[in-house]
């Protein structure tokens, strides 16, 4: 059984809501039924087969080919199965994803992995602002699972993050880990201003010395026992995070944000 | 049955169901992992008065431990799940949390999850940090030497306790030498512990006592100094009897350990004063697990 593949027919001026095209919703549908699903396209509804060429039949392995940044809500509430996106993805990729895996070969838009609950998301390119964040007005962002970004991420990565791991091979923008409740964000590249702004708990694990805000206090240098276990858990990833030579156990620990509860931490490789 | 001049009695050891768990203790080096493990498994020879039976299973190489440091694997057995959980938590809190450089991990992933460091975290007074890595939750508790890292839970499984055999010899030194040889071989078997001091018990008990308050008392039938005045089970030449008690995760594990131990004793043979191997049982009324010596050695 070959992958169920949706190939975008051409460029589109309007944004498309692809939330109906997730594995669990397509599981028991025949090709005609899938082709007839109505998608929100700008301010009107259109059939799937008006926008995409459809091939294959394995609804547990979905591919979006020729994808671009106008395709929003891919993998929304995904519950098992795999989605592969060839090209870019729009906003709200993996919104409230529950399980399964999503792989993107290009870049993703804002609110990627927003309020994600579990599963694994891998982005080969860059991710936009509010990666793993909460929907505007909500108090808890990502609640579990793991996100691996091979490129850079925008501002406010992990905003309101509650649990889970965000692994960034590149650099992070301003306010990384802002208002974080718990979880781990690891950044191999550089970080922007206001790192960990108003974070309550959680760990920001950094390979490079960041610009530390005045509300983070230096707790000294330490060898932390949990780091080898954390790095060992990255072993199976297709990523620089799996490289044993880049792992470390000695860190300088900054506690904060002292303007909040001060139970969060920034760990910087020594 | 006679092996190398040693008579193997046609009898059986009687064992009973227990609950068990395994914990892995690591530290900066093997010395300190062993110190923590010895503390945690101390005063745990018998459920009669210790609350649990515990022992060191084996030393682990850094490659075998979760955090890549030297470690020791311990097993703890108790008669019920509640009792086991209480003993585990108390011992972990007083003996491992307190031991320099130590970390504590689950040694059994299946079974019912019972708290390992889940409640020890409160020692952190709010400064403790949770880390969920994969499907396991860890607690980082700030302590004066750095951080105490512990897994939140470990697995509790059904197990077997009370496997045993008796070594009957012509003298006390010969009985002890035979038991030492047995313990050395039995420690190579995984999933078992011999919880008594050095693995050997010299005060085997029978059920009941002339004193109503006591549930167990000395096994007079195997006491050599009482040969003439009690209903003895000893022949005239036997001057000393020692027992090895085995707790294991399965009946098969105890089978293997008993076979290895009895074989080691028989290898010394009657020439070294070892005359008989017997076993303790209660007529088959106490425990559902029976270890027939001659079947094990067949």
DSSP for A113-136, please give it: TTT--SSEEEESS-B-TTTT---T
pLDDT of residue B280: 87
Question: What is the pLDDT at residue A248?
Answer: 95
Question: In which band, very low, low, confident or very high, does the pLDDT at B284 lie, cut at 50, 70 and 90?
Answer: confident
Q: Are residues B122 and B182 in the same domain?
A: no
Alpha carbon distances (Å) from B80 to A244, B6, B92, B157, B228? 43, 38, 18, 10, 41
The contacts of residue A10 (CB under 8 Å, 6+ apart) are none
Domain boundary residue, one of B124, B157, B190: B157
B207 and B255 in a single domain? The answer is yes
Residue B121 has pLDDT above 90, yes or no: yes
| Distance in Å, alpha carbon of B89 to nearest chain A alpha carbon | 21
**DSSP secondary structure code for residue B198 in this structure:** G
By a Cβ cutoff of 8 Å, what residues of chain A touch chain B? 144, 163, 182, 184, 201, 203, 222-226, 228-230, 232-233, 263, 265
Let me know whether B131 and B71 are in one domain. yes
- Does the pLDDT of residue A82 top 80, yes or no? yes
Residues B272 and B204 in one domain: yes
Read off the pLDDT band of B283 (50, 70, 90): confident
How high does pLDDT run on average in chain A?
96
Q: In angstroms, what CA-CA distances link B145 with A256, B28, B66, B121, B183? A: 21, 12, 20, 16, 36
Does residue B287 register a pLDDT over 90?
no
- Please check whether residues B129 and B145 belong to one and the same domain: yes
Pair (B210, B129) in one structural domain: no
Q: What per-residue string of b and e applies to A2-24 under the rule 16 or more CB within 10 Å gives b?
A: ebbbbebeeeeeebbbbbebbbb
- pLDDT value for A12: 86
**CA–CA distances in Å: residue A224 to residues A20, B36, B236:** 44, 19, 63
Percentage, residues of chain B above pLDDT 70: 100
| Residue keyed to tokens 């076979």 | B259
DSSP for residue B95: I
B295 Cβ contact list (under 8 Å, min separation 6): none
Interface-testing mutation among A166, A185, A225, with chain B (most B C-beta atoms within 10 A): A225
Chain B residue nearest residue A183, CA to CA: B131
Q: pLDDT band for position A262 (50/70/90)?
A: very high
Which residues from chain A sit within 8 angstroms of residue B131, using beta carbons?
184, 203, 226, 230
Could you tell me the residue range of the domain that residue B85 belongs to?
A: 18-157
Residues of B in contact with A182 (CB under 8 A): 130
Per-residue pLDDT tens digits for B39-68:
999 999 998 889 999 999 999 999 999 999
Same domain, B197 and B245: yes
Report the distance separating Cα A98 and Cα A100, nearest Å.
7
Q: Residue B296: CB partners within 8 Å, gap ≥ 6?
A: B255, B258, B259, B262
Please say whether the beta carbons of B284 and B18 come within 8 A. Answer: no
pLDDT digits (tens, 9 = 90+) for A140-184: 999 999 999 999 999 999 999 999 999 999 999 999 999 999 999
End-to-end CA distance of chain B: give it in Å, rounded: 9
- Residue A13 confidence (pLDDT): 87
Contact criterion met (CB < 8 Å) for A225 and B103: yes
Within this chain, do residues B23 and B147 fall inside the same structural domain, yes or no? yes
Instruction: Look at residue A103 and give its three-state secondary structure.
Output: strand
B253 and B126 both lie in a single domain: no
Q: What is the per-residue pLDDT across A221-236, written as a single tens digit (0 to 9) for each?
A: 999 999 999 999 999 9
Is the distance from CB of A166 to CB of A183 less than 8 angstroms? yes
Count of domains observed in chain B: 2
Looking at residue B208, which CATH number applies to its domain?
3.30.70.520
Residue B33 binned pLDDT confidence (cut-offs 50, 70, 90):
very high
Same domain, B124 and B248: no
Residue that is last in its domain, among B157, B190, B206 = B157
Token output for A86: 């060839």
Q: Could B133 and A226 be called an inter-chain contact, meaning their C-beta atoms sit closer than 8 Å?
A: yes
CA angle A158, A69, A166 (to 5 degrees): 20
Q: Nearest CA to A201 among B139, B188, B150?
A: B139
Which of these three, B115, B142, B157, is where a domain ends? B157
Q: Please report where in the chains the tokens 């330490």 appear, as a residue.
A: A222
pLDDT tier for residue B140 given thresholds of 50, 70 and 90 = very high
Q: What is the pLDDT of residue A10?
A: 87
Cβ–Cβ below 8 Å for B67 and A228: yes
According to the model, what pLDDT value does residue B282 have? 78
For the segment B25-34, the average pLDDT, to the nearest whole number, is 97
B133 and A229 Cβ atoms separated by less than 8 Å: yes
Q: What distance in Å separates residue A19's CA from the closest CA in chain B? A: 28
Q: Are residues B167 and B134 in the same domain?
A: no
pLDDT value of position A4: 92
Q: Residue B277's closest CA among B44, B7, B66?
A: B7
* Mean pLDDT (whole number) for A95-114: 97
B197 with B281, same domain? yes
Say yes or no to pLDDT of B106 above 90.
Answer: yes
pLDDT of residue B48: 85
pLDDT tens-digit readout, B1-28? 899 999 999 999 999 999 999 999 999 9
Residue contacts between A and B (CB atoms, under 8 Å) = 43
Confidence band of B215 (pLDDT split at 50, 70, 90): confident
Strand spans (E) along chain A: 3-8, 16-17, 38-41, 44-47, 52-55, 58-67, 71-72, 79-87, 99-104, 120-123, 143-149, 163-168, 184-187, 203-206, 217-223, 250-256, 264-269
């Amino acid at each position: 059984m070959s992958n169920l593949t949706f190939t975008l027919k051409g460029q589109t001026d309007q944004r498309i809501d692809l939330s109906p095209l997730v594995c669990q919703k397509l599981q028991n549908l025949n090709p005609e039924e899938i082709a007839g699903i109505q998608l929100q396209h700008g301010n009107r509804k259109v059939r799937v087969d008006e926008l995409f060429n459809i091939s294959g039949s394995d609804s547990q392995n979905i591919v979006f080919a020729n994808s671009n940044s106008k395709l929003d809500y891919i993998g929304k509430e995904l519950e098992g199965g795999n989605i592969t996106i060839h090209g870019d993805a729009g906003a709200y990729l993996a919104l409230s994803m529950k399980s399964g895996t999503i792989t993107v070969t290009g870049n993703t838009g804002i609110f990627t992995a927003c309020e994600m609950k579990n599963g694994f998301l891998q982005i080969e390119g860059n991710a936009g602002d509010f990666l793993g964040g909460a929907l505007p007005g909500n108090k808890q962002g990502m609640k579990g699972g793991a996100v691996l970004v091979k490129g850079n991420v925008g501002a406010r990565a992990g905003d309101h993050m509650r649990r889970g791991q965000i692994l960034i091979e590149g650099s992070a923008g301003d306010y990384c880990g802002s208002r974080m409740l718990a979880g781990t964000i690891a950044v191999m590249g550089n970080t922007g201003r206001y790192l960990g702004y108003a974070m309550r708990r959680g760990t920001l694990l950094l390979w490079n010395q960041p610009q530390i805000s005045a509300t983070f206090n230096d707790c000294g240098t330490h060898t932390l026992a949990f780091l080898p276990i954390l790095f060992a858990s990255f072993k199976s990833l297709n990523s620089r995070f799996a490289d044993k030579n880049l792992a470390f156990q000695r860190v300088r620990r900054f506690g904060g944000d002292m303007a909040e509860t001060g139970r969060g931490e920034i760990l910087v490789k020594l | 049955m006679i092996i190398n001049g040693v008579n193997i009695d046609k009898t059986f050891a009687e064992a009973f169901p227990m609950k068990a768990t395994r914990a892995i203790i690591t530290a900066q080096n093997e010395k300190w992992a062993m110190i923590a493990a010895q503390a945690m498994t101390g005063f745990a020879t018998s459920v009669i008065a210790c609350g649990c039976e515990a022992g060191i299973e084996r030393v682990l190489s850094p490659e075998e431990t979760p955090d890549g440091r030297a470690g020791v694997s311990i097993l703890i057995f108790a008669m019920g799940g509640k009792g086991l959980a209480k003993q585990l938590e108390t011992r972990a809190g007083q003996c491992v949390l307190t031991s320099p450089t130590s970390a504590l991990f689950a040694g059994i992933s299946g079974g019912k999850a019972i708290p390992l460091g889940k409640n020890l975290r409160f020692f952190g007074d709010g400064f403790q940090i949770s880390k969920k890595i994969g499907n396991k939750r860890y607690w980082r508790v700030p302590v004066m030497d750095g951080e105490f890292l512990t897994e939140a839970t470990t697995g509790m499984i059904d197990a077997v306790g009370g496997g045993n055999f008796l070594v009957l010899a012509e003298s006390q030194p010969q009985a002890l030498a035979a038991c030492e040889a047995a313990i050395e071989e039995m420690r190579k078997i995984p999933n078992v512990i011999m919880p008594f001091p050095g693995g050997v018990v010299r005060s085997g008990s029978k059920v009941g006592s002339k004193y109503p308050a006591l549930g167990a008392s000395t096994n007079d039938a195997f006491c050599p100094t009482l040969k003439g005045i009690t209903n003895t089970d000893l022949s005239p030449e036997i001057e000393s009897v020692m027992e090895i008690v085995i707790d294991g995760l399965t009946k098969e594990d105890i089978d293997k350990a008993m076979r290895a131990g009895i074989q080691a004793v028989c290898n010394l043979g009657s020439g070294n004063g070892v005359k008989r191997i017997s076993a303790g049982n209660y007529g088959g009324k106490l425990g559902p697990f029976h270890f027939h010596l001659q079947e094990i050695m067949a």
